[in-house]
Amino acid sequence: VDVLDLTAALVAIDSQNPGTGEAAIAAHVVDVTRKLGFEPRVVEAAPGRPNVLVEIDAGPGPALALCGHLDTKPIGDAAAQWETDPLALTVEGDLAYGLGSSDMKGPVAAMILAADRWAREARQGRLVLALTADEEAGSVCGAEALVAAGEIRADAMVIAEPSGIVEPWEAVFLASRGIACFEVTITSKQGHSALSPHLPTSATVAAAKLVIALAEFIPSHPEGHGYVAHPTVNPAVRVEGGVFYGVHPGEAVVASEVRTVPGMDRDVLEQELRALVAGALPPDVDWSLRPEPGRLGWMAPSIAEPRHPVVTAALDACEQVLGRRPPLAAYPGGTDATAFTHGAGIPCIASLGPGWLTCAHGPNEHIGVADLRAAVDLYADLAQRFCAGPFPTGGLRT
Ligand SMILES: [Zn+2]
């Protein structure tokens, strides 16, 4: 099986999320892995939302999980901007275009073929392919469900999210950022706008002051990890308020998010936000701050120990296959590393994959054909090194 052909087959199967679900693509992956001689297992957390697990046992030794998701973001409003059919992998020179080519059907194809090579060469250890559903919409039917059911047992995991920001294979990303979303509701007094000098500050004007303060907010965060990015604040991802001309606004809502880094604490962040809101709003309005319920309210950041054997194996594999050792870094986005690190205690490399994050989730997503081929060699080499090594101890740093 050629990695480009397998990528093309996966791209051709619609698995937009929210959208069609992963039933069809999972069935294809089951078929492909069976033909390679594996015994795939389907774990369906909800109807039409299957995860596919493959375990290959080559005897006692460390167990490595290779993880990728089977869903894609929706084509969405970008359909007209695609220059090729998003559901048909189109090769032009060294680039292959298609929805999910980078994020992450190409990387998934490379992991499947690397597992095939590993299975033929390995003398010890265990390799797990964890091909998940629902990553692009919160992982509830995917990584979260697998963790809750205790389905993944491994000493370390490599997630094949695309590692290119500017250059392909830009870094070995050990940290995965978290997210904290919250809503501030501001209450003033609705009334006749002709009398505004006699009314409390308009709720929408107060909201504007809050948005400016949030834009300048730098949450406290540890500076200890040299390679970990800073938190970023996205103020006012949604603003609502006001009624009509002539009406002094009595209520406004400002929804914002903070992308967090390892070492940040939920309670500390919430205290800082409350102090910021109290300081930014005029004293004559009331306000309440509400973290979003569920995972949006707090999805924890995660990080792997830089001296963990999986990191050593990854750097050695990069040197062998790419001819260089990429720097260690923090991935800008959130990944399934959060679920597997905190839920299953598995140290994760949050992103080591061909392709570019910068073209994911948008039109004309593409992947380098040479990078895709290198990925097969890289994952096979990495798995070989890790599984042939000693059992790792510890490895989690939170
Ligand atoms: Zn992804």
Strands 191-192 and 247-248: antiparallel
Residue that has been written with the tokens 């047992």 in this structure: 153
Strand, helix or coil for residue 52: strand
SS3 32: helix
Cα R_g (the chain), whole angstroms: 23
The C-alpha atoms of residue 12 and residue 26 are separated, in whole angstroms, by 13
- Nearest alpha-carbon partner for 215 in 276, 282, 135: 276
Ligand 1 center to 71 CA (angstroms): 8
What's the gap in Å between 135 CA and the centre of ligand 1?
7
CA of 372 to the centre of ligand 1 (A): 15
- Ranges of beta strands (E only) in 81-208 are 90-92, 95-97, 126-132, 156-159, 172-176, 178-187, 191-192
Dump the DSSP string for 369-389: HHHHHHHHHHHHHHHHHHHHS
Ligand 1 centroid distance, CA of 103 (Å): 5
Measured distance CA(261)–CA(239) in Å, rounded: 25
User: What is the tens place of the pLDDT at every residue in 172-222?
Assistant: 999 999 999 999 999 999 999 999 999 999 999 999 999 999 999 999 998
CA-based nearest residue to 266, from 286, 288, 292, 287: 292
Partners of 175 in beta bridges: 303, 330
CA 352 – ligand 1 centroid, Å: 11
Distance in Å, CA 111 to ligand 1 centroid:
14
**CA 70 to ligand 1 centroid distance, Å:** 9
**Ligand 1 centroid to residue 248 C-alpha, Å:** 45
Phi, psi (degrees; rounded to nearest 5) at 370? -65, -35
Sheet arrangement for strand 90-92: 90-92, 95-97, 366-368
Q: How far is the CA of 8 from the centre of ligand 1 (A)?
A: 17
Coil, strand, or helix at residue 258?
A: strand
Instruction: Output the pLDDT for position 395.
Output: 45
Mean pLDDT split into 10-residue runs, the chain, 398 residues: 97 96 97 98 96 96 97 94 97 97 98 98 96 93 96 96 94 94 98 97 98 97 73 95 98 97 94 98 98 91 94 98 96 93 96 95 96 98 94 53
* CA 44 to ligand 1 centroid distance, Å: 20
Respond yes or no on whether the N-terminal peptide bond of residue 264 is cis (omega within 30° of 0): no
> What is the per-residue pLDDT for 390?
81
Kindly write down the DSSP assignment for every residue of 98-135, as one continuous string.
-TTIIIIIHHHHHHHHHHHHHHHH-SS-EEEEEEES-G
CA distances from 362 to 74, 81, 98, 134, 236 (A): 9, 9, 10, 18, 22
pLDDT of residue 396: 44
CA–CA distance, 54 with 66 (Å, rounded to integer): 10
Q: How far is the CA of 216 from the centre of ligand 1 (A)?
A: 30
What is the CA 359 to chain-centroid distance, rounded? 14
Order of strands, edge to edge, in the sheet holding 302-303?
302-303, 172-176, 328-331
- Write out the two tokens for 278: 């109290």
User: Among candidates 57, 101, 9, 43, which has minimal Cα distance to 365?
Assistant: 101
For ligand 1, the distance from its centroid to the CA atom of residue 104, given in whole angstroms, is: 6
Of 269, 275, 263, 276, nearest to 291 by C-alpha is 269
How far does residue 241's CA lie from ligand 1's centre (Å)?
34
DSSP 323: S
**Alpha-helix runs per DSSP H in 239-354:** 266-280, 309-322, 337-344
Residue 115 carries which side chain, given as an amino acid letter? A
Residue 278 Cα, ligand 1 centroid: separation in angstroms? 37
Longest dimension (CA), the chain: 82
Report the separation in Å between the CA atom of 187 and the middle of ligand 1, taken as the mean of its atom positions. 39
Which token pair is 254? Answer: 């400002």
